[in-house]
């Protein structure tokens, strides 16, 4: 049910953002979406395409796998229309790029901190070593 709701929300937002999409089957609006990986997090995009929900709503999507670090530049350069990496979007906007976040699928962050069972609260991390994805990236220090 959540997946279907997410797909409907995606389609409604795309229809609002790209007016004139639902004009007919012969006039599909082509969009390019930059996805960082084939992770389950991005499954709704593939399901929407596979089930024909995009075509039904006047869209033809091309999914391009690309590193999250280049997604903001790809949007600014017109190479893609959308990317779903929330933290990348926040970092790019924080850095001054004129990007906006129009949709988030989650009520909470999809990322988590995995620890040993002796860590029960954030204060237990004081004095411990913590691994991060990239050194000195804004999202790691905010």
Phi, psi of 130 (to 5 degrees): -130, 130
In a domain, 120, yes or no: no
| Phi, psi (rounded to 5 degrees) for 34 | -90, 115
Tokens of 102: 């129009």
Can you give the pLDDT at residue 24? Answer: 47
Number of domains in the chain: 1
90 lies in a domain?
yes
Write down the pLDDT at residue 111. 63
Beta-strand pair 29-35/59-65: parallel
Domain-located, residue 123: no
Asked, for residue 53, whether it belongs to a domain, the answer is yes
Which residues have CB under 8 Å from 133's CB, separation 6+?
140
Indicate whether 46 belongs to any domain: yes
The residue among 11, 13, 6, 1 whose CA lies nearest residue 44 is 6
Residues of the chain with pLDDT under 50: 24-25, 140-142
Give the CATH number for residue 99.
Answer: 3.40.190
* pLDDT for the residue 71: 93
**Domain range spanning residue 97?**
2-108
d(C-alpha 56, C-alpha 106), whole Å: 25
């Amino acid at each position: 049910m959540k997946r279907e709701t997410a797909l409907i929300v995606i389609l409604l937002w795309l229809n609002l953002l790209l007016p004139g999409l639902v004009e007919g089957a012969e006039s599909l609006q082509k969009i390019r979406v930059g996805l960082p990986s084939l992770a389950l997090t991005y499954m709704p995009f593939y399901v929407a395409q596979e089930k024909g929900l995009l075509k039904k709503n006047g869209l033809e999507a091309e999914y391009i796998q690309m590193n999250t670090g280049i997604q903001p530049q790809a949007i600014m350069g017109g190479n893609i229309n959308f990317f779903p990496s929330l933290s990348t979007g926040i970092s790019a906007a924080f850095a001054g790029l004129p990007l906006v976040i129009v949709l988030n699928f989650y009520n909470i962050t999809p990322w988590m901190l995995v620890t040993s069972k002796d860590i029960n609260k954030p204060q237990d991390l004081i004095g411990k070593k913590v691994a991060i994805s990239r050194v000195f990236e804004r999202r790691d220090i905010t």
